[in-house]
Amino acid sequence: MAPQTAKVLIDTDGRWFLNYLNTIFKYYTQCSNEYEFERVQYALLLRHKNKLEEMLCAHSTNMRVWDKYVWTANYHNYFCDIHFNGEKDLKIDKKLLLSWPRNIKSRDL
């Protein structure tokens, strides 16, 4: 396979999308050693996780927006499983990715 195939993934619906989290590996040349490189990767993924969790909570009542963050969070967790297996602190809790029934609001009418 061509090396650029790592830059693109296919979602469950068959659509292709850019594997943008793969860009964390470009920092290798900017780090002085392997330990520093691992720290940079960890910090970037942790920041990505924290921002997604913040957005999931902020948009929990707007399903159209929330669904997009759920999709991104699932991609984030997939990436962590592939490249950082065992680093549970980097993964987004699945409880944040579940939707629950709610009462009807005036904006629903």
Residue 45: its pLDDT value, please? 96
* Contact between 27 and 41 (Cβ < 8 Å): yes
Residue 83 has pLDDT above 80, yes or no: yes
Tens-place pLDDT, residues 30-74:
778 888 888 889 999 999 999 999 999 999 989 999 999 999 999
What is the DSSP annotation of 39-92? HHHHHHHHHHHHHHHHHHHHTTT-HHHHHHHHHHHHHHHHHHHHHSTT-GGGSP
Task: Supply the range of the domain harboring residue 91.
Answer: 3-108
Domain count, the chain: 1
Confidence category of residue 5, pLDDT binned at 50, 70, 90: confident
Residue 11: its pLDDT value, please? 92
Q: Hey, what are 76's tokens? A: 């984030």
Residue 1 has pLDDT above 70, yes or no: no
**What whole-number percentage of the chain has pLDDT above 90?**
61
